[in-house]
Chains A and B, each alone.
Chain A
Amino acid sequence: MEKEELIKQINEVLAEEFEVEVETITPEANIKETLQLDSLSLVDMVALIESTFSVKIKGQEVAAVKTFGSLYDFIYERLGK
Chain B
Amino acid sequence: MGIYSCLGKNLDEVRDALYTAKSGIVLDPKRKEMGFRSGLTAYIEEPNLKGVLSRNQRVYMPEQAQYAYVATAEALRNAKIDQDYLDSHEVGLLYGNDSSADAVVRSVDTMREKKDTTLVGSGAIFKSMNSTVTMNLSCIFKLKGINLTVSGACASGSHAIGLGALLIRNGLQDMVVCGGAQEVNPFSIGSFDGISAFSIRENDPTKASRPFDRDRDGLVPGGGAATVIIESYESAVKRGAPILAEVLGYGFSSNGDHISVPNVDGPARSLSMAIKLSGISINDIGYINAHATSTHVGDQNEAKAIYQVFGDVRPEVTSTKGQTGHEMWMAGASEIIYSMLMMKNGFIAPNLNFENPDEDSAKLNIPSKRVEKKFDIFLSNSFGFGGTNSTLVVKNL
Spell out A's residues near B (CB within 8 Å).
Answer: 17-19, 36, 38, 40-41, 43-44, 46-47, 50-51, 56
Q: Could you tell me if B56 and A36 are in contact, using CB atoms closer than 8 angstroms? A: yes
Main secondary structure of the interface of A (DSSP, over half): helix
Contact among A36, A40, A50, A51 for B122, CB-based, below 8 A? A40
Residues of chain A within 8 A of B312, CB atoms compared: none
Candidate in B59, B118, B123 with the most chain A CB atoms within 10 angstroms: B118
Contact indicator per residue, chain B 197-221, by CB within 8 Å of chain A (1) or not (0): 0000000000000000000000000
Residues of chain A within 8 A of B59, CB atoms compared: 41, 44
Per the bound structure, the CA–CA distance linking A17 and B50 in Å amounts to 12
Per the bound structure, the CA–CA distance linking A44 and B58 in Å amounts to 13
Distance in Å: Cβ of B89 to nearest Cβ of chain A: 27
Per the bound structure, the CA–CA distance linking A19 and B55 in Å amounts to 7
Distance in Å: Cβ of B50 to nearest Cβ of chain A: 8
B126 nearest in chain A by CB position = A40
Residues of B115-129 whose CB lies within 8 A of A: 116, 118-123
Distance in Å: Cβ of A43 to nearest Cβ of chain B: 4
Q: Could you tell me if A38 and B56 are in contact, using CB atoms closer than 8 angstroms? A: yes
Q: Could you tell me if A43 and B55 are in contact, using CB atoms closer than 8 angstroms? A: no
Rank and list the top 4 A-B pairs by shortest CB-CB distance, nearest first: A40-B122, A43-B122, A19-B55, A44-B122
Q: Could you tell me if B56 and A43 are in contact, using CB atoms closer than 8 angstroms? A: no
B118 nearest in chain A by CB position = A47
Distance in Å: Cβ of A14 to nearest Cβ of chain B: 12
Contact among B55, B116, B119, B123 for A18, CB-based, below 8 A? B55
Q: Could you tell me if B56 and A51 are in contact, using CB atoms closer than 8 angstroms? A: no
Residues of chain A within 8 A of B120, CB atoms compared: 47
Contact among A18, A38, A47, A56 for B121, CB-based, below 8 A? A47
Residues of chain B within 8 A of A47, CB atoms compared: 118-122
Residues of chain B within 8 A of A44, CB atoms compared: 59, 121-123
Known: A19-B55, A41-B59. Is A50-B121 also a contact (CB below 8 A)? Answer: no
Q: Could you tell me if B122 and A41 are in contact, using CB atoms closer than 8 angstroms? A: yes
Q: Could you tell me if B55 and A50 are in contact, using CB atoms closer than 8 angstroms? A: no
Per the bound structure, the CA–CA distance linking A40 and B121 in Å amounts to 9
Residues of chain A within 8 A of B116, CB atoms compared: 50, 56
Residues of B92-150 whose CB lies within 8 A of A: 116, 118-123
Q: Can you list 20 pairs linking A and B with CB atoms under 8 Å apart?
A: A19-B50, A19-B55, A36-B56, A38-B56, A40-B122, A41-B122, A43-B118, A43-B121, A43-B122, A44-B59, A44-B121, A44-B122, A44-B123, A46-B118, A47-B118, A47-B119, A47-B121, A50-B116, A51-B119, A56-B116
